[in-house]
């Protein structure tokens, strides 16, 4: 029953899955990791993006990746608005606001979930594209092409964001605001505007990530609950705000989930990310590559 | 002196309430009010219990569903194994909930704010996964419960559950009220405002947090214990539903957490609105209303309903702008 081939297959699929997890988590790595916003609604935004892609794919037969790209500007604006609201009502008010900020995003997540249910129903939804449903064979191993597509796009997306944050002027400004907001203010920049922009970017990335989510597997309205564990696990394990750490942590999670799935079956899979998250929080809260 | 008089009024009110509930179970024939009332009482217990940790201590627990589900399944497992009566089930659920609360309390050693909240969600999912893989209580498919015969003086099981839940709600309220007025409550408020400063001035923060977590956990699990008998059925997905978490949190924050009456008001208001909406429109819409109310209150009325009713609380708690 157990064989090296089986394990090797699980590891390969785990790496592919892990890169996909990196793509759905990088946004949170910016919004929570760099900006310290308790963005519990991140996975709900992600699922919302998937439904946006589904709608475009269903009504206009647009390729899911293109559809993801198309909703990106909309999500950018959405992110700007969300951060502005959060900042005006919570960040400005100080101490007690932290509790309410968390409750605020929790409430937003629920509203999105229910709105999706009211609009699309509770059934699973999936997209159609030429690369979905086929698979490649390597000897004993079969790898679905949808996984490979998601892997390639996810890797590109994560790399682009890493380059953006380290090479461009605005990217450096975002990292600067995460390091020392006050210093930035003294230099005459407006930290709130930079953070708002960064939150916009973090949300815009979800357009593509949402497309990947629905390419990899069908989505349902309450899928965000499972992804609370996965995304926060990845971001915390990575060390808050580290993009390369995000990739490494995501691959670790992907491989762990894939191996457990192969050895013990699907019923244990949901607990993996949460157990790893608890472990990391208890043992090494600063993450693998903590700042 | 006023404290003493308040106590007399409070316990008088409790006695009148329980007698009224008992009388109602003897007089009213129709079972529906008890079905609906049970849910509202359950929400009162949950919101008040949540607010002991979330309101007084400022640790936002997203894991109400973990405690609730643990309560449900403790009762189910015990009932299936030994056929224990309801009182024993509830007591056992409270003990298990208290133990789990101790574990959650230890988490607060290393985690604050959002990290604590996420950790409590994690705990809920992990426990749910274990229950899903636990064959004895039916696994993911759930389990049917055959109610035992009802005890006198009640003529239906739902009426008895209604009365039991009323006692649980009153217990939660009394404990919350006691904590609020005691040294424990003042210590919790101090550590909510500034944990480091509280620790430095000699407040035993860890001990207080453990107490708050254990009491809150025991009360939530106890409130969940009769749920399997109420529904005559239990399955992991509904017992560990995240909706319990958002409901408890929303009702407490909407009512206001500065005083025990806040969560009670929030639970009555939202609980009855939900009952009304679930019957007239749909159960999705009532979660939507809950979410929207939560966001509106958190943004617009940070002190909740009691903050709106009595500006005194806003002044007293609002030293900072």
Nearest CA in chain A to B195: A95
Pick the CATH number of B2-317 from 2.60.40, 1.10.357, 1.25.40, 1.10.3470: 1.10.3470
* Set of chain A residues whose Cβ sits within 8 Å of the Cβ of B129: 267-268, 270-271
Task: Answer whether A285 sits within 8 Å of B114, measured CB to CB.
Answer: no
* H or E stretch covering A136: strand A135-138
Q: How far apart are the first and last CA of chain A?
A: 43
Sign of the dihedral through C-alpha B305, B306, B307, B309: positive
pLDDT at position A18 over 60 = yes
* Set of chain A residues whose Cβ sits within 8 Å of the Cβ of B287: 110, 113-114
Q: What confidence score (pLDDT) does residue A2 get?
A: 60
Q: pLDDT of A105-141, one tens digit each? A: 989 999 999 999 989 988 888 888 888 778 887 776 7
- The alpha carbon of residue B50 is apart from the nearest alpha carbon of chain A, in Å, by 13
Task: Bin A241: left if φ > 0, else alpha if -120 < ψ < 50, else beta.
Answer: left
The interface pTM score, or ipTM, of the predicted complex is 0.82
pLDDT at position B121 over 90 = no
- The alpha carbon of residue B250 is apart from the nearest alpha carbon of chain A, in Å, by 8
pLDDT at position B189 over 90 = no
Q: Rounded to 5 degrees, what are φ and ψ at A61? A: 55, 35
pLDDT at position B318 over 50 = no
DSSP A198-235: HHHHHHHHHHHHHHHHHHHS-B-GGGHHHHHHHHHHHH
pLDDT at position A159 over 70 = yes
Of A176, A203, A275, the closest CA to residue A232 belongs to: A275
Q: What confidence score (pLDDT) does residue A288 get?
A: 63
Mean pLDDT of B170-182: 91
Instruction: Please give the model's pTM, rounded to 2 decimal places.
Output: 0.87
A34 within 8 A of A175, measured Cβ to Cβ:
yes
Return d(Cα B143, Cα A194) in angstroms, integer: 53
Mutate to test the interface with A, among B238, B295, B300 (most CBs of A within 10 A): B295
Task: Answer whether B291 sits within 8 Å of A85, measured CB to CB.
Answer: no
A202 within 8 A of A27, measured Cβ to Cβ:
yes
Q: What confidence score (pLDDT) does residue A291 get?
A: 47
Q: Which of B113, B121, B125 sits opposite A98 (nearest CB)?
A: B113
Share of chain A above pLDDT 70, in %: 95
Across A219-239, b (16+ Cβ under 10 Å) vs e yields bbbbbbbbbbbbbbbbbbbbb
Q: What confidence score (pLDDT) does residue B25 get?
A: 82
Q: What is the CATH number of domain A4-283?
A: 1.10.3470
A280 within 8 A of A256, measured Cβ to Cβ:
no
Share of chain B above pLDDT 90, in %: 28
Q: Which of residues 239-278 of A touch B (CB under 8 A)?
A: 267-268, 270-271, 274-275, 277-278
Q: What is the mean pLDDT of chain B?
A: 86
Return d(Cα A79, Cα A45) in angstroms, integer: 10
Between B101 and A186, the more confident residue is B101
Between B219 and B191, the more confident residue is B219
Return d(Cα B47, Cα B268) in angstroms, integer: 10
Task: Answer whether B111 sits within 8 Å of A107, measured CB to CB.
Answer: no
Of B77, B113, B55, the closest CA to residue B317 belongs to: B55
Nearest CA in chain B to A106: B246
Task: Answer whether A114 sits within 8 Å of B321, measured CB to CB.
Answer: no
Of A75, A38, A41, the closest CA to residue A209 belongs to: A75
Strand partners, A144: A135
Enter the tokens of residue B172: 């939660």
Residue B156 CB contacts under 8 Å (≥ 6 apart), including other chains: B31, B34, B150
């Amino acid at each position: 029953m157990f064989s090296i081939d089986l394990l090797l297959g699980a590891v390969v699929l785990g790496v592919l899955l892990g890169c996909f997890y990196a793509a759905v988590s990088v946004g949170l790595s910016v919004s929570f990791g760099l900006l310290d916003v308790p963005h519990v609604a991140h996975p709900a935004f992600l699922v919302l993006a998937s439904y946006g892609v589904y709608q475009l794919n269903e009504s206009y037969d647009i390729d899911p990746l293109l559809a993801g790209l198309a909703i990106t500007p909309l999500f950018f604006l959405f992110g700007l608005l969300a951060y502005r609201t959060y900042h005006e009502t919570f960040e400005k008010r100080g101490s007690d606001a932290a509790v309410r900020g968390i409750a605020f995003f929790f409430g937003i997540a629920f509203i999105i979930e229910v709105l999706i249910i009211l609009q699309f129903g509770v059934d699973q939804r999936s997209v159609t594209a030429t690369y979905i449903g086929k698979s490649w064979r390597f000897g004993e191993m079969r790898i679905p092409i949808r996984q490979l597509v998601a892997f390639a796009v996810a890797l590109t997306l994560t790399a682009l964001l890493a380059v953006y944050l380290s090479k461009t002027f605005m990217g450096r400004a975002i990292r600067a605001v995460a390091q020392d907001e006050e210093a930035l203010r003294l230099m005459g920049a407006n930290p709130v505007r930079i953070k708002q922009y960064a939150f916009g970017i973090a949300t815009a990335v979800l357009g593509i990530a949402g497309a990947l989510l629905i390419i990899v597997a069908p989505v349902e309205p309450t899928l965000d609950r499972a992804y609370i564990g996965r995304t926060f696990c990845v971001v915390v394990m990575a060390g808050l705000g580290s993009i390369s750490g995000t990739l490494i942590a995501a691959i670790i999670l992907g491989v762990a989930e894939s191996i457990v799935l192969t050895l013990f079956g699907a019923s244990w899979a949901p607990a993996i990310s949460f157990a790893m998250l608890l472990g990391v929080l208890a043992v090494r809260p600063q993450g693998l590559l903590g700042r | 002196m006023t404290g003493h008089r308040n106590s007399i009024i409070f316990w008088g009110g409790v006695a009148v309430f329980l007698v009224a509930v008992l009388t109602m179970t003897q007089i009213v024939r129709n079972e529906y009010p008890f079905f609906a009332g049970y849910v509202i009482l359950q929400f009162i217990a949950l919101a008040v219990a949540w607010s002991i940790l979330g309101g007084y201590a400022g640790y936002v627990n997203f894991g109400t569903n973990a405690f609730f589900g643990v309560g449900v399944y403790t009762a189910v497992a015990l009932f299936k194994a030994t056929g224990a009566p309801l009182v024993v089930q509830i007591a056992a659920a409270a003990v298990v909930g208290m133990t789990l609360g101790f574990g959650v309390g230890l988490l607060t050693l290393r985690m604050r704010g959002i990290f604590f909240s996420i950790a409590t969600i994690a705990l809920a999912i992990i426990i749910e996964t274990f229950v899903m893989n636990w064959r004895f209580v039916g696994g993911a498919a759930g389990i049917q419960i055959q109610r035992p015969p009802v005890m006198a003086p009640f003529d239906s099981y739902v009426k008895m559950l209604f009365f039991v839940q009323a006692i649980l709600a009153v217990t939660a309220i009394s404990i919350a009220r006691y904590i609020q007025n005691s040294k424990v409550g003042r210590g919790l408020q101090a550590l909510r405002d500034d944990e480091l400063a509280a620790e430095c001035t000699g407040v035993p923060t860890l001990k207080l947090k453990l107490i708050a977590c254990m009491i809150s956990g025991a009360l939530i699990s106890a409130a969940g214990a009769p749920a399997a008998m109420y529904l005559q059925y239990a399955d992991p997905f509904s017992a560990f539903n995240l909706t319990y978490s958002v409901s408890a949190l929303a009702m407490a924050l909407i009512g206001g957490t500065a005083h025990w009456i806040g969560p009670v008001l929030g639970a009555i208001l939202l609980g009855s609105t939900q009952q009304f909406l679930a019957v007239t429109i749909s159960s999705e819409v009532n979660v939507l209303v809950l979410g929207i109310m939560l966001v509106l209150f958190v943004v617009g009325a940070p002190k909740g309903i009691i903050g709106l009713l009595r500006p005194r609380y806003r002044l007293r708690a609002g030293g900072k702008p």
